[in-house]
């Protein structure tokens, strides 16, 4: 998880870049990035509950080896018809 300190430092960096931007478009891009960082932090607290603590016992039971099964071949019975000429699909 990214800490608030890291996000605040990034916002400060983008603020300085926006203040020294050569064009209005570049400044708006930096401000949009700042808004996105703020939205991520604010939405995170509102929408996601605190993660539950996981002890080593539940973690070991959660992670298990995958189970692989062999496909079972069903033997096909050959259909015998009186008017068929052979085994090919094209034999009429």
Q: In the chain, where are the structural domains located?
A: 4-50
Say which residues have a Cβ less than 8 Å from residue 7's Cβ, sequence separation at least 6: 37, 40, 41
Question: Rg for the chain (alpha carbons), in Å?
Answer: 32
The structure's pTM equals 0.48
Count CB atoms within 10 A of the CB of residue 14: 19
pLDDT for 16 beyond 70? yes
Q: Give the per-residue pLDDT at 81.
A: 67
Q: What angle do CA 19, 41, 2 make, to 5 degrees?
A: 95
Give percent of the chain with pLDDT exceeding 70.
49
For all residues of the chain together, what is the average pLDDT? 75
60 or 74: whose pLDDT is higher? 74
Q: What angle do CA 25, 28, 33 make, to 5 degrees?
A: 130
Q: Binning pLDDT at 50, 70 and 90, where does residue 11 land?
A: very high
């Amino acid at each position: 998880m990214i800490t608030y300190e890291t996000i605040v430092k990034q916002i400060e960096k983008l603020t300085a870049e926006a203040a020294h931007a050569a064009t209005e478009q570049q400044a708006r891009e930096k401000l949009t990035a700042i808004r996105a960082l703020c939205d991520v932090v604010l939405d995170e607290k509102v929408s996601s509950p605190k993660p539950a603590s996981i002890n080593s016992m539940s973690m070991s039971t959660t992670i298990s080896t995958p189970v692989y099964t062999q496909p079972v071949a069903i033997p096909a019975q050959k259909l015998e018809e009186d008017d068929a000429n052979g085994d090919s699909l094209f034999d009429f």
